[in-house]
Amino acid sequence: MVTDAKADVKRVARSNEESRIGQLCIEHGLKMTGQRRVIARVLSEAEDHPDVEELYRRASALDKRISIATVYRTVRLLEEKGILERRDFGGGRARYEASEPGHQHHYHLIDVDTGRVVEFEDEEHEELIRRLADRLGFDLVSHRLELFGRRIDSSKSAMDEGL
């Protein structure tokens, strides 16, 4: 089936109401150009942590007019507004994910051999961090945890079972 690229771009731009990041942009008073809408949609639909080049590949597949410079500028702006968070999982490239204020923290376990990033939640860790901050006399504002490891055994593990 052949699709019209302009129609795809218009569809993505019109369907911004469903884009979580697009809504955050609007709430922060950002002007939403067609290209920003496409980038916001791609980020909203990402199930991974894309770097700028991967984001560019995905966005430019929807709108050929999007340049790598536009993606860099947009990512920088969204990061400044607190809409995106930069992550460093090694490998020399910053990766990004949507900020989710008010939501349960999630953490990252990075396989140093494959680069695979596993997200997980851990209420015990949350409680430990809160108690530690309290014991040291701090009101915890934010925290992040990124674990780097190597699989012990390639056989079935908790990672395969979704932690």
Residue-wise pLDDT tens digits, 65-104: 999 999 999 999 898 888 887 877 666 677 777 776 555 5
CATH assignment, 107-149: 3.30.1490.190
pLDDT at 160: 56
Residue ranges per structural domain of the chain: 5-98, 107-149
pLDDT at 156: 53
Cβ atoms of residues 39 and 69 within 8 Å: no
Residue numbers belonging to the annotated binding site? 105, 126, 143
pLDDT at 61: 92
Averaged confidence pLDDT in the chain: 77
Main-chain phi, psi angles of 135, to 5 degrees: -60, -35
The letter for the amino acid at 113 is D
pLDDT at 161: 53
5-98: CATH architecture: Orthogonal Bundle (1.10)
Above 70 in pLDDT, residue 18? no
Two domains, one topology: 5-98 and 107-149: no
Tell me the pTM: 0.61
Residue numbers belonging to the annotated binding site for Fe cation? 105, 126, 143
Who has greater pLDDT, 13 or 117? 117
Collect contacts of 7-12 with beta carbons under 8 A, ≥24 apart. 8/62, 8/63, 9/34, 9/38, 9/62, 9/63, 12/37, 12/38, 12/41, 12/62, 12/63
